[in-house]
Structure 1
Amino acid sequence: MNLEKLIPITELCSHYKVEISFFTNLNEMGLVSIKTIETTSYIESDAIYEIEKMIRMHQELAVNTEGIDVVFNLLQKIDNLQKELVSVKNRLRLYES
């Protein structure tokens, strides 16, 4: 596995000032994917944007991990509905012209 695209969870914890249990809870809820190589746990660097949003919700808004799960599920549904709306609008334009 390419370690260049992985960030150790311990580094994230010290940088963002969160505990390892925060990432463990997010992993259990399926919000992040933790990869363990030897004895070190990592998160893919592609997930940093989403993780930063989760950490901000947790620290600045005092949202617990269950609340973060709800918010991200709702955001995903909104995104899917927006994509579906664009698709329907495009099909409607075909019939209008």
Structure 2
Amino acid sequence: MQSEEVILVEDYCQKYTIDQTFVLSLADYGLIELVLVEERQCIPFHQLPTVEKFSNLHYDLNINLDGLDVISHLLQRIEAMQEEIRQLKSELATLQ
């Protein structure tokens, strides 16, 4: 397995002044994935935009973890429907 670039949760939280328990709670809710590197929790770089999005929603708009979970689920459904629409448009275009 190829190693991916990561940042320690504690370093990320210190740099962006957010609570470590918030990031760990995001992982507990299944909203992000953390990896263990030498028995320390790390955030893979590809997860950083997601962590930032949830941090902004939580800290700027006071949305709790349950709300973030609902928002994440709704965004996934929207993306799936948009993909389905793209596929249907493509199929329709080939029929014309």
Q: Does 2:30 align with 1:30?
A: yes
One-letter amino acid matched to 2:62: A
- 1:12-65, Cα deviation, whole Å (9 max, x unpaired): 111222211111111111111111223321010111111111110011111111
Q: Residue 29 of structure 2 contacts residue 69 of structure 2 at CA under 8 Å; is this kept in 1?
A: yes
> Letter of the aligned partner of 2:50 in structure 1?
E
TM-score normalised to structure 2 length: 0.90
Structure-2 separation of matches of 1:24 and 1:66: 14
**Paired AA for residue 30 in structure 2:** G
Match for residue 51 of structure 1?
Answer: 51
Residue ranges of structure 1 left out of the alignment (5+ in a row): none
Contact 2:23 2:51 in 1 (8 A): no
Q: What RMSD in Å do the two structures reach over aligned CA positions?
A: 1.4
Q: How many residues align?
A: 95
* Counterpart code for 2:41: S
Which portions of structure 1, spanning 4 or more consecutive aligned residues, are displaced by more than 3 angstroms? Answer: none
Q: For residue 87 of structure 2, give the secondary structure of its aligned residue in structure 1.
A: helix
Partner of 1:10: 10
Task: Give unmatched runs, 5+ long, in structure 2.
Answer: none
TM-score, normalised on structure 1?
A: 0.89
